[in-house]
Structure 1
């Protein structure tokens, strides 16, 4: 199978999963009057320990900081984010990987969605310290301050993404999905 049909098949699978209600990013849309109110993050899908994360639970995990530089309105900007590693959160949910299958973890994808319906997809290989080793954060602070009501209380921060397109503000759901056999 060439690369293009594989990508189309993955996109179709994710879309059909989302539309079936198993993971529906639109269901996480918040009433505008509650934006910034206490929110939780549901961790579900192919995990042995589904969980509901609160801001306090994320703060209780080992903290990491990352400094990111970007360009906004033609001017360089820099922000320091603080939070927990996404891989630590996912590890505690105990993904249903099969150790007897070589690199079974690489058959999984993560759909992260925000309460506004925005969503982004990651392969497990990007997130696992043993493979891509990307320090993706579930951030709760920017420049030493709690995230704004628009971005928080939790936001996914993806160092190395050129356009910050997979930064998911108002993070509300993490859904682990097995792709293929």
Structure 2
């Protein structure tokens, strides 16, 4: 009897990028994996302790070539990153938070959670410095990278 398997979960990396791309969790493993042992407060489940591994968000996004001048810090500082999860949860970061010349936050696109591969569920956004787990986005469906434009422009 043959088993029907679901297609692998993908996340779409798009926006003000030269090379938008769709990536599976397996493809995220092309980048060097970082390890993050985190503790954060979850409003529904209390304190959480987990170990995540995966590439840095900045490495993955940088390879898609955001449409800013990498040599001009002020140009980079106007870019935002919006992460969307399969359950409708969303979170926003600024490029300077993850940029090595600014906040240098080691934000991950996790490919494992506590040693368990996330291929079936999809990648998870991990923000190790956050005391609250609200910016941890599970089952990422898309990541938008783009310049902030005020609504009155």
TM-score class, shorter? 0.7 to 0.9
Verify: 1:67 aligned to 2:37, yes or no.
yes
Unaligned 5+ segments in structure 1 are 1-35
TM-score (norm 1): 0.71
Which position in structure 1 is the counterpart of 2:20? 50
TM-score (norm 2): 0.83
Which position in structure 1 is the counterpart of 2:3? none
Which position in structure 2 is the counterpart of 1:144? 115
Pairs aligned (count):
143
Unaligned 5+ segments in structure 2 are 1-5
Which position in structure 1 is the counterpart of 2:81? 110
Distance 1:78 1:51, change over 3 A: same
> Which secondary structure does the structure 1 equivalent of 2:29 belong to?
helix
CA contact (8 A) 2:8 2:119 kept: no
Which position in structure 2 is the counterpart of 1:39? 9
1:120 to 63, 76, 91: 91
Give the number of the structure whose residues are more often strand, by fraction: 2
Give the number of the structure whose residues are more often helix, by fraction: 1
CA contact (8 A) 1:41 1:173 kept: yes
CA RMSD between the two structures: 2.2
Larger RCO (CA within 8 A; separation ≥ 6): 2
